[in-house]
Amino acid sequence: MLFNSINFAIFLPIVFILYWFATKGNLRLQNILLLVSSYFFYACWDWRFMFLLIFSTLLDYFTGIKIHEAKNQRKKLFWLWLSIGINLGFLGVFKYYNFFAASFADGLSLLGLKANLGSLQVILPVGISFYTFHGLSYVLDLYKNRIKPERNFIDYSVFVSFFPLLVAGPIERATHLLPQILKKREFNYSKAVDGLRQILWGLFKKIVIADNCAEYANTIFNNSADYSGSTLVLGALFFTFQIYCDFSGYSDIALGTARLFGIDLLRNFAFPYFSRDIAEFWRRWHISLSSWFKDYLYIPLGGSKGGMWMKIRNTFIIFLVSGFWHGANWTFIVWGFLNALYIMPSIIFNTHRNNLDIVARGKYLPTIREFFAIGITFSLTVFAWIFFRAESVAHATQYILDIFKHPGSFLLFGIYWKYKTILFLILIFVVVEWFGREGQYAIAHFGAKWYKPIRWAIYYSIIFAIYFFAGSKQQFIYFQF
């Protein structure tokens, strides 16, 4: 069930009405309804994978209790590693087995040996990377004594499978979400309106920007040998906006939907394309995953406390693992490696925390220095996205070479006129994002001091844009991860 589908447009109001009116404010009934609705939402993808989701939930629920009740460190470690091993084992089989089998066979072929390991013809369970990380954060927090185990299975299951975040995040922490699930919730009109506003902006980003960009990006990347360098640059730019508007659009809809039920999810994007360096970009892009790797991998590895060598080593590890988390393809690993290289100067010269605040706060325009810093950071990001989007490392390499081999009409703008509508929409989008960058999302406070009719005119303009400029429906990119 896609967020941008008619089915979800029917599903959401029904759940909302039952949640606030049929349950009469009873917390237990609300949580049961959320769990049933979440399982129904997930079953709409493929009901067979429900068993995997429920098994994963049961595994972490029981191992969490055992970790808490363990009398000594050895038993705690046993239950912790049992949970980690089984969770990552399932993730490895479904997501990475074919990759490792093919890579092993390729390695043997270089030595003149042949191996036929076969491949698994299975569909990747949607959301497996996300709900696996939900459960892992729970047992790791229990092991570190940051939380106590949740003994109500229904409440814990809602934490794992809450439908707005189930298939593509954000990756929640038990320390943040579980207390909200256990606490009595009352309807808040302002919060609900804010949620609807964020859903609206998320739909605009997905349907108008991402889906239109996807059409052009797919055509250009899939036939890259037929295009000039200028068109290939446009293809990379289209994918750059596609992946941002697709994933942040999903996150906006997820956060807005959760707010309708009185629940606040972790923010996942904070205008990353306005970053002044790569370190700032990664504080603003897929925040829930970046912070997860920082807390559960980077810091346990020693973080930045063991000297420069350990800091560099650990940085490369988390970027390579982050790349591998995205998919079983060498393109993602190269993408992670590139970002690790990008961030190295700020790590070595200790400037990675120079840009903690939003750029040009309280101003209409950035300084010249900030403008060029944003441009350089954005350009590096676009270059890395080529590897993320390409079918293989060879395809990405050839794509980049063709940009310079056949530069085409970079200065004639004829090629740009062909894509004038989507480029104009992207320009409007960037302007709105820029002026709304100090909010939680672009239109959170847009026109807040204007007369109500003008604000409503803006909302209706967005709705009309969604209707008139909708691209062909595309699945959310991060469903494959």
Cα three-residue angle 396-400-406, rounded to 5 degrees? 135
Write down the catalytic residue from 134, 286, 326, 395.
326
What is the DSSP secondary-structure string of 158-226? HHHH-TTTTTT-----HHHHHHHHHS-----HHHHHHHHHHHHHHHIIIIIIIHHHHHHHHHHHHTGGG
When mean pLDDT is compared over 197-201, 230-234, 301-305, 456-460, the highest value belongs to: 197-201
Q: Which residue has the higher pLDDT, 142 or 117?
A: 142
**How high is the pLDDT of residue 49?**
85
Task: Give the residue-averaged pLDDT of 445-471.
Answer: 85
pLDDT at 230: 86
Residues 6+ apart with CB under 8 A from 38: 158, 161, 162, 163, 166
**Which pLDDT does position 399 carry in this prediction?**
95
C-alpha to C-alpha distance for 401 and 9, rounded to whole angstroms: 45
At 100, the pLDDT band (50, 70, 90 cuts) reads low
Express each pLDDT in 179-236 by its tens digit: 999 999 999 999 999 999 999 999 999 999 999 999 999 999 999 988 888 889 999 9
pLDDT tens digits, one per residue of 267-291: 999 999 999 999 999 999 999 999 9
Which amino acid makes up residue 320?
L
Query: Does residue 176 register a pLDDT over 60?
Result: yes
Nearest to 54 by CA among 166, 172, 161, 173: 161
pLDDT (0 to 100) of residue 285:
95
Quote the pLDDT of residue 2. Answer: 83
Q: What is the pLDDT of residues 376-392, one digit of tens each?
A: 999 999 999 999 999 99
- Judged against a pLDDT cut of 90, whether residue 477 lies above it is answered with no
Q: Per 3-state DSSP, what percentage of the chain is helix, strand, and coil (rounded to 5)?
A: 70, 0, 30
- Please report which confidence band the pLDDT of residue 4 belongs to, taking 50, 70 and 90 as the band edges: confident
Nearest to 83 by CA among 133, 123, 130, 129: 133
What average pLDDT does this structure show over 452-465? Answer: 88
Average pLDDT over residues 118-145: 82
What is the structure's pLDDT at 54?
A: 94
286 flagged as catalytic: no
Q: Which residue has the higher pLDDT, 459 or 13?
A: 13
Of the candidate ranges 52-56, 99-103, 318-322, 338-342, the one whose mean pLDDT is the lowest: 99-103
How high is the pLDDT of residue 352? 87
